Amino acid sequence: MTILGLTGSIGMGKSTVAAMFADAGVPVFDADAAVHRLQGPGGGLVAAIEARFPGTTGAQGVDRAALGQAVLGDDAAMRALEAIVHPAVRAEREAFLVRHHDSPLVVFDIPLLFETGGERDMDFVVVVSASAPVQRERVLARPGMTLARFEAIDSRQMRDTEKRAHADFVIPTDVPLDETRAAVLRVIACVRDGQGR
């Protein structure tokens, strides 16, 4: 089995590209979706997060806005949250691999792949990228997003230029969708042939 790490900074179009891999028949593990399940109603992380960050959960699970306020700009709090979340996501990822053990290729959709050193566990890394103006426009169009919040999130992420430099493949998303889809199919073909870069 070949494991392809898919990553990209906020607003780069990673979810769109992940869906294209899935449409092409490649199983995709979505780390963000796993976190949402674990933090949702009855989720396995709700109690631990409430214990460490009182008042950030309720009947609907973790209140992401309240939790964001509790950790944003506080490195120690962010590390404490990551210490709760990352092991649980790793366990979900292992279960995904067991379910798809007969697949020749799988994709791990992980937003902070480089930032957490996760690229070491991948056979190849794909970075999804768009120009800075396109990224900014996409992010600021999200409900509840502010410039200050975008800048705080962006500051915690490795620069896009650095991610591209460390990638085996770069998929552009500031082009027509057909071009992005063609790039996804080229990556699949190259990986199946055992080629990188």
Q: Is 1 annotated as a binding residue?
A: no
The one-character DSSP state at 17 is H
d(CA 68, CA 36) in angstroms, rounded, equals 14
Q: Are 125 and 5 in contact (CB under 8 A)?
A: yes
Intra-chain end-to-end CA distance of the chain, in Å = 19
Tokens of 136: 């900014």
Does 13 count as an annotated binding residue? Answer: yes
Between the alpha carbon of residue 15 and those of residues 67, 96, 109, the distances in Å are 23, 18, 8
- Is 16 annotated as a binding-site member? yes
CB atoms within 10 A of CB 86: 15
Query: DSSP characters for 136-191?
Result: HHHHHTSTT--HHHHHHHHHTS--HHHHHHH-SEEEE-SS-HHHHHHHHHHHHHHH
Contact in structure between 30 and 18 (CB atoms under 8 Å): yes
14 is in an annotated binding site: yes
Summarize the annotated binding site as residue ranges.
11-16
Residues in binding site for ATP: 11-16
